Structure 1
Amino acid sequence: MSGSNYQETLEAVFGFDSFRPGQERIIKQVLAGNSALAVFPTGSGKSLCYQLPALMLDGLTIVISPLIALMKDQVDFLLGKGVKVARLDSTLSAAEARQVYSDVRAGSLKLLYVAPERISNERFFAAIEGHVISLMVIDEAHCISEWGHNFRPEYLKLAIAARALKVERVLALTATATPSVVEDIVREFEIQREAYVNTGFHRPNLHLEFSPTPEAERMGALQDRLNAIPVGPTVVYVTLQKTAEEVAAQLVADGFSARAYHAGMKSEQRAEIQDWFMASTEGIVVATIAFGMGIDKSDIRRVFHFNLPKTLENYSQEIGRAGRDGKPSHCEVLGSGEDLVVLENFIFGDTPTEESIRVFASFMLEQEDEFDISLYQLSQLTDIRPLVLSTLLTYLELEGVIEFTAPFYSEYKFKYLEPKSEVLAAFKGEPGEFLKRLLAQANEKKTWSYLNLDTAAKALGADRNRIVKAFNHLEEKGMLEVGVTGLRQGMRMLDRQPEIEVVRNLVEKVERNEAGNLERTRNVVELLNVEGCKTRFLLSYFGEELSEDCGHCGYCETETVVPVGRAAACLSDEERVVVERFEASKPGGVSTAREGARFLCGIASPKTSRSRANRSEFFGRLEKTPFEAVLNSLADTE
């Protein structure tokens, strides 16, 4: 492609007469047929790096993103530009999803946005395989790295899927990547060094302030800041959903225009709050980290951390949502050492017990050479949360014990949108006979019919993929509305290692993961405590060196530090009494010291949720007590 071609597209479609830093370098790599990695700060124009090439390349561009808000905003923007684009996510109706699949088959789409989990879904895979996929875009690419702050096991499968789909090139995007995370990304997607572009993290327009404040005084401090600092759209980040509700309610009572936002709300309510905030010139959103990802609002003037951020990666992303218009913006941390208890307790609580790991390993090693699992059922069996379980399964794959095959749904449910007789009459010859025999396998109810795919495939002597494609075709034609149930992950046993070795390796990995997460949280404390330029310290964490102090952070202006410390890992007399009473009653589903510590600190598990033991008076009684202190106290009594 010539430079004039993409310059013309930049102006004609996107209305820009020049590129932002790094954009043109990435676009040239992609148009030249190379896979690439763009590490750009939040709000610096990563989306143009694939939207523009997608319009110039033949075939389909698939954008993989976990951010539904980003999908919706970008699809709406591109549709407004006359681009044929669609998204597949959980908010679409059955009719809307059918239309998307129809457009994919027709080859009329230029871009398709999907969630990471969908790329290995057998229905989706069957719909897109064989089509020319000129570009696969991996948003939030740091999730592929085990060393990153937000490792997501499904991301590791994207490189495998890209090869299986014969994707011509991959573009990985992220706003936060330490040097070790970059190494993982370029290795997995075979990206050459010249196709890695990092524009740096320094944002001179952001004033970074650090004012650790005792929890009892924090609300007053926040109100003082809101009154003192020029008004503008504001985000206040908190750790817990209940904190978001409480702080927002207090701000409203004090006359501020504030709304709470967190993952516990219904999607419609979250969407309404996002729309309100986007249109507001002085609105305040009090939110957990669920808010902000993919929200493209350029005039956010203030970002407060009411609680300590989880990691420096989180902090960098969250302050990066301020001042995208280049104008001065205020970013201040009010959280203190008191917040470390909750942050660290969540980390400890995610670590499965050795007994749970042993149950998991035993179950896996007893399986046939080809098998499949239900993540939900295995979670109930092992008392390990599904997300953590996915990580353990990925560890087994990385160690060569198992290999993931395609995920699938054990059962299809469908209802006729046209009379069954007309559906059958529409197909002649062998296809018609196959369809007649296939539909005869279904268990027909009043509205919906149900079909077990494996049972049907065996009865018909047919390939399972043919059945999947048949249902896709019938749905595309508007003859059936199809739903799926019973998600199962296919597996293949590669190396049936001794159970004792598998358990030992997994225990080592989860302990290393726990230590890494604790270290990332303690890096936040180090940032607050460092006696030096805060901006310089933050940039060095991401491998970027600033030649001199920034001159505009809180330390550069005052040369003072309010130190942050950790709570002592010991119990008060009152807390010891709670532990003793808990030990005497032992709610159902709690048998080990770690399980007991999770229970007392208010961290639910599949076992306690199933037994409803978390309704006990003891559940969460010590949620503000260091997990280690509770664990050590319970271990002493075992």
Structure 2
Amino acid sequence: MDSFDFDEVFDDIEEAELQQLERPTKRQKSTHSENAQDELDEAYHQALAERLLNDKFGYATFRHEQAGAIQRVLRGQNTLVVFPTGAGKSLCYQIPAIAFPELDKADGTREPDVAGVTIVVSPLIALMKDQVDALRKRGISADSIDSTKSWDQLQIIYGSLRRSQLRILYCAPERLNNEGFIETMKYVPGGIRLLAVDEAHCVSEWGHSFRPDYLKVARFVDEIKAERVICLTATATPRVTEDICKAFKIEESCVFKTSPYRPNLQLHAQTIDDYTGDPQAVLNMMLGVRGKSESDKRFEALFRFLRDHPGPTLVYVALQQQAELHAEVLVGEGFNAAAFHAGMKTEVKTRIQDAFMASQIDIVCATIAFGMGIDKPDIRNVVHWDLSSTVEEYSQQIGRAGRDGQISHCMFYLTPSSFYLREVFARGDLPSRQALKRLMLDILSHANGKLVGEVFKLSQYSQGRDFDIRPNPLSIVYAILELHFGLFRAVTPEYSTYKFEATKAYYALKSDNSREAKAVLTYAVKRVKLYDIDVNAAAHAMGLNRVDVVKKLNQLNERGAIKLQTMGIEHRYVILKKLPETDLEAVVDKLYADMASQERDAIRRGREVMDLITGPRCYALSLAEHFGMSLPDGKTRCGHCTFCITGKSVRAPFRPVVKTTRATIQEVLKSTSVRDDPRFLARVAYGIKSPRVTLLKLDKLPIFRSLAHHDFDV
């Protein structure tokens, strides 16, 4: 799409009109032709957006195609923005959010107390918090609704919404399952002016990080009657772009794309081949296991790169133990490095992230858990030690380097078992057909006897353990059953168990005459140290809603009267139509076919990354074309990637593949009595963990990963 140039927008408009910068009244509109009126509106929108950009954010001009996207939103059109990481996507919804009250004032169509709100659907609590803090520092009223908020904090937020004092509200996509939230949003004074969908590629089943809850965002838009939608992503292929546009009814003229090419990023690649004939030694290298010599010569290339390119650096690895090993080895070589992964305590991760942002730590060795929302302008290097899961992920991660415009280096190491880990991740998500059928029978048993419109409850945690399905593919199964088959709809989950430890202040509850207090005092039963309370029974006996008793417990916890513990999340679903019992096989077949297709797609995506790095062409050109774009001025070479510099393709690493024999399979069969699922046994032999593997402790046996260098399909 063409960007809007500021000077061109004001062609054919009188200077006096520009100086007034007032939106035309309805009386004035009648004196202009429709086209002239559109130009005048655009001029007003552009001038207002430019002023807010300068006054609130301190920037003189818009970048990329920000101005064009903002124009579309202010005109009430659904819009898609595909900009590289760090290119200022958030301004495309923040500027309109604070512009709406001024537009209302100029129109005279709304009172200030019905200004509405902009909702931003965003996947990470930490990212939401950073955005809210940044907006508040600029004097913009913003907040977020997430699991860290207390009941009192939520009441303050809802009060601000009722008084039209909140301009921007962030929430996670999972919040859209909450009936109370949906109902509240339906009745916000002034309505939902704009719904911004951050990381919008998650809505596509062909996206590189598909999240089932994102599929429900489009339904939420219709339910709350949002006036307009803006979708934002750094990584949308043409196919994903098509999916997003279809889901949110976005016209082609409202799609704004900017090439992912960044001339200051120098893309490098190197093959590390230290294969000695021992497949296990190669596997140890990938899994973060130290070699016997402890010399770690396999890291010498990394040491040289980091010494040649000093500065803040991110080293991406696939596994948590790798992050720790790399940090340990780098520290031993005199580098100022730390590990970061999802298995660490929150306070530790926060400390490391803050130290890196403050340049107190030079190098972070991390899994993909680190980076989203990191806005450190002077990251000089991004290193990939393992094969990225997708080209999109690779593009997103290198986009964290060099945001200050200075030369930065992105090194991709190809190691002998690079593709093995990608295959482990991909093949671990496909349950067996037997498991899917048992899952469906279990769902039917929970819903048995329930009528359309009634609610049934179950524990996805228990189902994942019982039927050997990982959390993410299990959530995808439920999303397919909900959205493709229309069988039921997810509503607000509940905790099944409430326990608390009483403090001295708890006993003051006796003077509280409310029914909620009486429910807690009467139905909380002391065991040893902790009290148990059946919230449903207490609410029913006292003629209360369940939420009333839960609210009281939360209030007591916030006041320090009790130390509340909740556990056992139960997912709740309202039945939309009679669940299938006779054609169950057809449902299972469709589920399995869909998920098998996703497995094949995940493996293909990993190969695309390998092909990009080892292909006979410029990396920057291949990357741009992956997203349906090109290099500036029609160039076919960036001039500074490894291929452009050497004129040669990087050789793919040698990966040993061992022939599978009856004897090797017999070793696996001897170690376990499991015979109901051949795919499960193959995953054990290949080294793929799952709930059932952990439960049976098969990952502790020699057979686990014993056939890792064999062909999985064989």
TM-score with structure 1 setting the length: 0.87
Q: For 2:212 and 2:572, how far apart are their aligned partners in 1?
A: 13
Q: Which residue of 1 aligns with 2:266?
A: 207
Out of 58, 76, 81, the position equivalent to 1:33 is 76
User: 484-493 or 256-265: which moved more?
Assistant: 484-493
Matched, 1:86 2:170: no
Residues 120, 161 of structure 1: 8 Å contact kept: no
Distance 1:627 1:472, change over 3 A: farther
**Which AA in structure 2 matches 1:625?**
H
What 5-or-longer segments of structure 1 have no aligned partner? 426-433, 633-638
Q: Specify the SS of the correspondent of 2:417.
A: helix
Residues 327, 365 of structure 2: 8 Å contact kept: yes
Q: For 2:351 and 2:322, how far apart are their aligned partners in 1?
A: 20
Q: For 2:594 and 2:551, how far apart are their aligned partners in 1?
A: 41
Residues 206, 330 of structure 1: 8 Å contact kept: yes
Q: Specify the SS of the correspondent of 2:271.
A: coil
1:212 Cα deviation (Å)?
Answer: 1.8
Pairwise CA RMSD: 3.1
Q: Specify the SS of the correspondent of 1:13.
A: helix
Q: Which residue of 1 aligns with 2:709?
A: 625
Residues 151, 551 of structure 2: 8 Å contact kept: no
Q: Which residue of 2 aligns with 1:430?
A: none
Q: For 1:99 and 1:534, how far apart are their aligned partners in 2?
A: 50
1:129 Cα deviation (Å)?
Answer: 4.4
Q: Which residue of 2 aligns with 1:219?
A: 299
1:450 Cα deviation (Å)?
Answer: 3.2
Q: For 2:524 and 2:159, how far apart are their aligned partners in 1?
A: 27
Out of 422, 439, 446, the position equivalent to 1:343 is 422
**Which AA in structure 1 matches 2:176?**
I
Out of 566, 580, 583, the position equivalent to 2:669 is 583
**What are the Cα deviations for residues 296-325 of structure 1, in whole angstroms up to 9, with x where unaligned?**
111111111111211101111111111111
1:407 Cα deviation (Å)?
Answer: 2.9
Q: For 1:242 and 1:301, how far apart are their aligned partners in 2?
A: 25
Q: Which residue of 1 aligns with 2:488?
A: 403
Q: For 1:566 and 1:130, how far apart are their aligned partners in 2?
A: 61
**What are the Cα deviations for residues 435-466 of structure 1, in whole angstroms up to 9, with x where unaligned?**
6887688545587673544x56766777x6xx
**What are the Cα deviations for residues 96-139 of structure 1, in whole angstroms up to 9, with x where unaligned?**
55654555556533222222212322454455442233222211
**What are the Cα deviations for residues 518-577 of structure 1, in whole angstroms up to 9, with x where unaligned?**
11011011112211122111111111133222222211121111221573653478xx86
Q: Which residue of 1 aligns with 2:284?
A: none
1:608 Cα deviation (Å)?
Answer: 2.6
Q: For 1:61 and 1:442, how far apart are their aligned partners in 2?
A: 42
**Which AA in structure 1 matches 2:390?**
T
Higher relative contact order (CA 8 A, sep 6+): 1
Matched, 1:109 2:166: yes
Q: For 1:474 and 1:101, how far apart are their aligned partners in 2?
A: 20
Matched, 1:328 2:424: no
Q: Which residue of 1 aligns with 2:590?
A: 505
Q: For 1:204 and 1:444, how far apart are their aligned partners in 2?
A: 66
Residues 234, 282 of structure 1: 8 Å contact kept: no
Distance 1:349 1:473, change over 3 A: closer
**What are the Cα deviations for residues 177-234 of structure 1, in whole angstroms up to 9, with x where unaligned?**
11111111111122222222112211111111121212576411011111122x2111
Q: Which residue of 2 aligns with 1:157?
A: 216
Q: For 1:3 and 1:341, how far apart are their aligned partners in 2?
A: 51
Matched, 1:138 2:226: no
1:372 Cα deviation (Å)?
Answer: 3.2
1:8 Cα deviation (Å)?
Answer: 2.0
Distance 1:94 1:275, change over 3 A: farther
Out of 130, 143, 146, the position equivalent to 1:73 is 130
Distance 1:441 1:360, change over 3 A: farther
Out of 455, 459, 463, the position equivalent to 1:374 is 459
1:154 Cα deviation (Å)?
Answer: 0.8
Alignment of 1:566-577 (within 5 A): 567=655, 569-571=657-659
Out of 648, 658, 666, the position equivalent to 1:560 is 648
Residues 98, 476 of structure 1: 8 Å contact kept: no
Distance 1:418 1:314, change over 3 A: farther
1:39 Cα deviation (Å)?
Answer: 0.7
Residues 218, 247 of structure 2: 8 Å contact kept: yes
Residues 272, 653 of structure 2: 8 Å contact kept: no
Residues 488, 574 of structure 2: 8 Å contact kept: yes
1:165 Cα deviation (Å)?
Answer: 2.4
TM-score with structure 2 setting the length: 0.78
**What are the Cα deviations for residues 367-426 of structure 1, in whole angstroms up to 9, with x where unaligned?**
34443332112222321112111111222234325131413315584989895466546x
What 5-or-longer segments of structure 2 have no aligned partner? 1-43, 101-114, 276-296
Residues 520, 533 of structure 2: 8 Å contact kept: no
1:149 Cα deviation (Å)?
Answer: 1.1
Distance 1:590 1:443, change over 3 A: farther
**Which AA in structure 2 matches 1:392?**
V
Q: Which residue of 2 aligns with 1:592?
A: 677
Residues 414, 652 of structure 2: 8 Å contact kept: no
1:515 Cα deviation (Å)?
Answer: 0.7
**What are the Cα deviations for residues 595-628 of structure 1, in whole angstroms up to 9, with x where unaligned?**
1222233322222323334333433444x42461
**Which AA in structure 1 matches 2:646?**
T
Q: Specify the SS of the correspondent of 1:350.
A: coil
Q: For 1:414 and 1:244, how far apart are their aligned partners in 2?
A: 37
Q: Which residue of 1 aligns with 2:285?
A: none
Q: Which residue of 2 aligns with 1:256?
A: 335
Q: Which residue of 2 aligns with 1:188?
A: 247
1:2 Cα deviation (Å)?
Answer: 3.4
Q: For 1:293 and 1:228, how far apart are their aligned partners in 2?
A: 27
Residues 120, 195 of structure 2: 8 Å contact kept: yes
Residues 656, 709 of structure 2: 8 Å contact kept: no
Q: Which residue of 1 aligns with 2:326?
A: 247
Alignment of 1:158-177 (within 5 A): 158-177=217-236
- Larger Rg belongs to: 2
1:332 Cα deviation (Å)?
Answer: 1.4
1:281 Cα deviation (Å)?
Answer: 7.5
Alignment of 1:387-536 (within 5 A): 387-409=472-494, 411=496, 413=498, 419-420=508-509, 423-424=512-513, 442-443=523-524, 445=526, 450-453=533-536, 467-468=546-547, 485=567, 486-492=569-575, 494=577, 496=580, 498-536=583-621
1:593 Cα deviation (Å)?
Answer: 2.5
Q: Specify the SS of the correspondent of 1:203.
A: coil
**Which AA in structure 2 matches 1:247?**
H
Distance 1:22 1:12, change over 3 A: same
User: 347-356 or 89-98: which moved more?
Assistant: 89-98
User: 543-552 or 605-614: which moved more?
Assistant: 605-614
User: 152-161 or 25-34: which moved more?
Assistant: 25-34
Distance 1:86 1:8, change over 3 A: same
Q: Specify the SS of the correspondent of 1:108.
A: coil
